[in-house]
Amino acid sequence: MQSKELLKKYNNPRNFLNRDLSWVEFNRRVLEEALNPHLPLLEKVKFLSIFSSNLDEFYMIRISGLKEQVAANVIEPTIDGLTPLQQLRKIEKEIQPMLRTARDLWHTEIVPSLKKYNIVIADINDLAAREQKLLNEYFKKEIYPVLTPLAFDPGRPFPYISNLSLSLAVLVRKPNGEKDFARVKVPSILPRLMQIDEVINPEKKTNSHISTKFIWLGDLIKNNLHLLFPGMEILEAHRFRITRDTDIELQEDEADDLLQVIEENIRQRRFGSVVRLEVESTMPEFMQETLTENLQITKDDVHVIEGPLGMSDIIALYDLPLHSLKEKPHYPVVPAVFEEEENIFNLIKQKDILLHHPYHSFSPVIDFIKAASRDPEVLTIKQTLYRVGANSPVVKCLIEAAEMGKQVAVLVELKARFDEENNIYWARELEKVGVHVVYGLVGLKTHAKMTLVVRKEADGVKRYVHLGTGNYNSVTAKIYTDLGLFTANEDICADVSDVFNYLTGYSSQKDFKKLFVAPINMKEKFLRLIGREIENVKAGAKGHVIFKLNSLVDPILIAALYEASNCGVKVDLIVRGICCLVPNVPGLSENIRVVSIVGRYLEHSRVYYFYNNGSEEIYLSSADLMPRNLYRRVEIAFPLEDESIKQYLIKTLLNISLKDNIKARILMPNGKYITPEVPEGTKKINAQEWLMNYSIKDNSKKIKQKL
């Protein structure tokens, strides 16, 4: 199938949903989880926090980009027919009711429900006189020294306000009667929700039988503003919070030192233009005008909020040791196969092994890298690192390997948004011990997840690889669903070696034995496989495609799926987040069904299934079907060659996800999602819960068989 012809055939605004409005619908599904009456209370708190955190990032990246386009008078519509200004208006229209729903949920359900369990979010004025006194003493000793009131008057410019920081706008009256404006930042180094017991009775241990009382740090500061402005009368004090544009463009091609450029980029984020101002509803109009004028924004950029600002901070409540208010914990299992052989390399040499996180433990991945670092026969370790976490056992193993004299080469992606500082730290730590650290290719992010181990054995040098859909991060592996493959398949290992050479040296290789590699050939390979399903249907056979991914945006591949649908190929799409494809439209997509699953784990794995006339093929990938993944990142898709592994994935992940009728939502042609109807007598299926139970039962069964 030719890309240009496909796009020309289906290039109609009615055939594409707007990317950012689709994201808004994803965040609506996150909010729906917070509203779920069957969810334990602290899980609702978690989802409400995630909803708010998602929105912050959306404004920092996507809304800021749209506003830049409006400011630059860009009027060209996107493929869905909307101009930047039209998108902004539609987005705000959708978001405002969601914000009201979130605040109502907090005030009318979560706070009262917390109180029933002796978790009280108190108003400082409602506290006992003794409690107020002790808190004020704590303020003088622990908080007052940290605060810096910043005045704003003809002699002093409007103070700089950092991204996502919470502040108090204060109006004071001097003894001479003059009124002046000041800003006090609520310090981010202190918890926003202060646990009163820990402040006034630090020796008292909190448990489920003791009342746990919190106040907002901003309330305590507001209550003591007179200490910051002695001799002044405090007339007004109201909270506000700003969001800045953090999507600063990198001039990589002009950079002599990418490390320095990224560090400068991080500093520049602090000074990005303001894209959103949140103010509490009690703030008077004149104060709002003062802020909008000095922040150089308009009234349209102001969100008036009933209740606390920056709701992402309520995640602190989730850390309370109240397990009855949370989902029953799941403990990932180590697959029984790892009991068969002590030497992990001998095990991988015998057969491919699939890990399905978080149902399976991430520890075999760490053990693989640890074994490689300590095995005297291992010559070389090569790895890509995208988001590794703050205390990474993976990186520590790589450092140990280098210290033991092994050749270690690591591609650290410095441009992993919001993880740049962490990655810079680890890059420097790796370089200190002699690791060959590479920062990727100009103009491309390296998003592929690969580890290559080269080992000297009796019959010659042997290669082993681990390939994954997710990051080498032991923390997120517990909350993101991802897939990882151990293999010693010679063709796959040779391809991985070639990709590393492409990343670290010079290579113009275009063909690989098994892997699809973006930006080289991934789009074309997927188009060819979709085309093969079409040809099979035309020949009178069955055609079926199942894609599980986070986002479906690329218009060419969407057009290819429309073509497949129109030719009679059945298309099932499991898309967690953004989906620009319009399903279930006669003559366009009547054979396409789109479901989204939002549950206790973040669906993150990418699986591409092709029926292939009964000879089923499955590819796993680090890539979503988005232009950035296909054209501006180094990504890989790798095949599952082992038949039992393929059948496991089809039987479990794919089929069960398509049968989910509890956490799944079905995409309608208007871009909205509905809950599937469950006829009476139909078995209720929560895919993630099913997979948790299956992983435990299946592993126990295999262990018993070995005994």
Determine the pLDDT at residue 464: 98
Give the tokens for residue 191.
């918890």
Tokens encoding 500: 């590393």
Q: Using an 8 Å Cβ cutoff, are 117 and 41 in contact?
A: yes
| Mean pLDDT to the nearest integer, 197-210 | 60
Note the CATH number of domain 516-706. Answer: 3.30.870.10
Average pLDDT value for residue range 195-208: 66
Q: What is the pLDDT of residue 254?
A: 41
The predicted structure's pLDDT at residue 251: 46
| Active-site residue (options: 330, 356, 360, 447) | 447
Domain 336-504 superfamily per CATH = Endonuclease Chain A (3.30.870.10)
Query: For 160-170, what is the mean pLDDT?
Result: 93
- Say what percent of the chain tops pLDDT 90: 78
Q: Which long-range contacts (CB under 8 A, 24 or more apart) does 74-82 make?
A: 77/13, 78/18, 78/19, 79/11, 79/13, 79/16, 79/555, 79/580, 80/13, 80/16, 80/17, 80/18, 80/19, 80/580, 81/13, 81/14, 82/13, 82/18
State residue 437's pLDDT score.
86
**Does the pLDDT at position 669 exceed 80?**
yes
d(CA 393, CA 362): 11
Q: Tell me: the pLDDT tens digits for 312-325?
A: 999 999 999 999 99
CB proximity list for 579: less than 8 A, separation 6 or greater: 17, 22, 551, 552, 573, 594, 596, 667
pLDDT of residue 253: 44
* Same-fold call for 336-504 versus 516-706: yes
Cis amide linkage into residue 157, ω under 30° from 0: no
pLDDT-based confidence at residue 269 (cuts at 50, 70, 90): very low
Mean pLDDT confidence for 557-569: 98
Mean pLDDT of 28-35: 98
Residue with tokens 């309370």: 320
Provide long-range contacts, Cβ within 8 A and 24+ apart, for 518-522. 518/623, 518/629, 518/630, 518/631, 518/633, 518/634, 518/635, 518/636, 519/444, 519/630, 519/631, 519/632, 519/633, 519/634, 522/621, 522/623, 522/630, 522/635, 522/636, 522/637
- In three-state secondary structure terms, 182 is strand
Residue 383's nearest CA partner among 341, 427, 338 is 427
Q: Is 673 helix (H, G, I), strand (E, B) or coil?
A: strand
Query: 167 or 262: which carries more pLDDT confidence?
Result: 167
Confidence of residue 440 (pLDDT cuts 50, 70, 90): confident
- Residue 262: per-residue pLDDT: 47
Give mean pLDDT, residues 132-143: 93
For residue 256, the model assigns a pLDDT of 45
Domain extents in the chain: 7-325, 336-504, 516-706
pLDDT greater at residue 509 or residue 101: 101
Token code pair at residue 567: 């030719």
pLDDT attached to residue 707: 55
Domain boundaries 7-325, CATH class: alpha beta
pLDDT of residue 248: 55
Stretch among 118-132, 152-166, 591-605, 681-695 having the lowest mean pLDDT: 152-166
Q: Say which range, 249-263, 394-408, 418-432, has the weakest mean pLDDT.
A: 249-263
Whether 356 is a known active-site residue: answer no
- Residues of the chain above pLDDT 70, percent: 94
Query: Is the pLDDT reported for residue 154 higher than 80?
Result: no
- Max alpha carbon distance in the chain (Å)? 92
- What order do you get walking across the sheet with 193-195 strand by strand? 119-121, 212-216, 193-195
SS3 category, 367: helix
The rounded distance, in Å, linking the Cα atoms of 690 and 49 is: 26
Instruction: Tokens for 514, please give them.
Output: 């098994």
pTM strictly above 0.85: yes
Query: pLDDT tens digit string along 45-88?
Result: 999 999 999 999 999 999 999 999 998 899 999 999 999 999 99
Mean pLDDT of 206-219: 74
Mean pLDDT of 399-421: 82
411-436 core/surface letters (b: 16 or more CB in 10 A; e: else): bbbbbbeebbeebbebbebbeeeebe
Residue 265 pLDDT exceeds 70? no
Interatomic CA distance for residues 37 and 17, integer angstroms: 30
